[in-house]
Amino acid sequence: METVLVTGGAGFIGSNLCEELLAHNYTVRCLDNFSTGHRYNIEPFLSNPNFTLIEGDIRDLDTCRKAVDGVDYILHEAALGSVPRSIKDPITTNEVNIGGFLNMIVAARDAKVKRFVYAASSSTYGDSKSLPKVEDKIGRPLSPYAITKYVDELYADVFARTYGIECIGLRYFNVFGRRQDPNGAYAAVIPLFVKKFISHESPTINGDGEYSRDFTYIANVVQMNLLAMTAPAGSEAVNQVYNTAFGERTTLNQLVGYLKENLAQFDGEIANVEVVHGPNRLGDIPHSLACIDKAKKLLSYNPKYSMRDGLREACEWYWENLK
C-alpha cells in the first residue's frame, strides 16, 4: 500500500484530498499546524488505521523530514492563502509559502519521494490581460501572495532539472466547496456570502460586481491532484504546471444570483436580502478564466462539475452545517 503525505491536510482542500485518498486505499499521512486548518475536518479519519496525523509546521525542516520518511507521494497544500493577508503581513506569507515550500521539497528530494505535487495559484497570472489564461503566458504579480506562489514554481522547476525530482504544480482557480471555512478576516467569497445570506445579512461586493472568476468546485481539484500524482513516471505530463479549473467565467453579480437561487430553496427570505458594494480590493485582478486544454491533453483531465453544479452541492452542505 502506497503512502501519501498531505501537507495542510486539515485544511479545506487538504481534508478533501485525505478523504479521497483513504477511499482509494492509500495510507495517508497528514501534516498540519492548525493555523488555518481545523481538527473537525479530519475528525472522521482519526479512527482509520490508514490515517496518521503529524502536528507540526512546514517552517521547521526537521518536522518536514520526519513527515516525509517512507512516503511515496507528497500533495503539498500547506500555505498561507489570501491576497489581503499577504498585503497586511508579507513576511509571514513569505516564510510559510516560500521557506516552508523549500523545506518540504528539500525533504522530499532527500527522502527520494516518487513525486511532489504542489498547490500553485492563478494569482501568478498577475497583470496579464489575456483571456483565457494559458500556462506559459503570465504577467507581473500583483501581491506578495502571488510572488510566493510564483517562486514556488521556480523552485520546483529548478529542483526537477537539478535533482531529478518529479514535480507537478496545480494553479488553482478560486476553489470552493464543502469544508471551506466561512469565518475569519480572510474567508473566501463563496462561504462568506453563504454565511451572510443564511443570517439574512447583506454581503459586500468589492467593486461593481462585474469582476469575474473561474470558480472551481473542490471535486474537480481532487480529481486533478490524483491525476497528477498517478501520471506515468518520466512522461511528458510530469515537471509541468497546470491550470486547475473548470474553464468558465462567472461575475460576482452572477454568483450572488446563483447563491440566492440555491439558498432560497431552504429559506425563501434569502431571495430578498440585498447586497452592498464597497471599493475594489488591492491586489485583485479584474478577470480570471482558465484554459484547461493542457490538463486535458497531458493528464486526461475531465472536470465533472460545472460552477453551478458544484454550487448546488456546496449550498446544500453549508445549509446543513451553518444554519
Residue 211 is classified by DSSP as: -
pLDDT at 323: 67
pLDDT at 294: 98
On whether residue 107 sits in a domain, the answer given is: yes
Please check whether residue 295 is in contact with residue 301, taking contact to mean a CB–CB distance below 8 angstroms: yes
d(CA 114, CA 315): 37
Residue 207 has pLDDT above 90, yes or no: no
User: How many domains does one find in the chain?
Assistant: 1
Q: Is 234 left (phi over 0), alpha (psi -120 to 50) or beta?
A: left
Alpha carbon 195 to chain centroid distance? 20
Q: Give the three cell numbers for residue 274.
A: 440585498
Task: Express each pLDDT in 115-163 by its tens digit.
Answer: 999 999 999 999 999 999 999 999 999 999 999 999 999 999 999 999 9
Q: Give the three cell numbers for residue 19.
A: 478523504
On whether residue 283 sits in a domain, the answer given is: no
Task: Express each pLDDT in 68-104 by its tens digit.
Answer: 999 999 999 999 998 899 999 999 999 999 999 999 9
How do strand 204-206 and strand 175-176 relate by DSSP bridges? unpaired
* Residues facing residue 269 across a β-bridge: none
On whether residue 313 sits in a domain, the answer given is: no
d(CA 313, CA 307): 10
150: annotated active-site residue:
no
Q: What is the mean pLDDT of residues 107-121?
A: 98
Neighbours of 25 (CB within 10 A): 9
Please check whether residue 322 is in contact with residue 198, taking contact to mean a CB–CB distance below 8 angstroms: yes
**Looking up cell 518536522, which residue turns up?**
63
% of the chain exceeding 70 in pLDDT:
100
Residue 282 has pLDDT above 80, yes or no: no
Residue 156 is classified by DSSP as: H
194-203 residues labelled b (16+ CB within 10 A) or e (exposed): bbbbbeeeeb
d(CA 140, CA 237): 26
On whether residue 150 sits in a domain, the answer given is: yes
Active-site option among 125, 145, 211, 318: 145
Please check whether residue 244 is in contact with residue 173, taking contact to mean a CB–CB distance below 8 angstroms: yes
**What is the overall mean pLDDT for the chain?**
95
Map residue 284 onto helix, strand or coil: coil
pLDDT at 187: 77
Confidence of residue 281 (pLDDT cuts 50, 70, 90): confident
On whether residue 178 sits in a domain, the answer given is: no
Task: Express each pLDDT in 1-44 by its tens digit.
Answer: 999 999 999 999 999 999 999 999 999 999 999 999 999 999 99
On whether residue 253 sits in a domain, the answer given is: no
289 or 323, higher pLDDT: 289
Q: What is the CATH number of the domain that holds 154?
A: 3.40.50.720
On whether residue 243 sits in a domain, the answer given is: yes
Domain range for 156 is: 3-173+218-247+290-304
Its pTM stands at 0.95
Please check whether residue 203 is in contact with residue 255, taking contact to mean a CB–CB distance below 8 angstroms: no
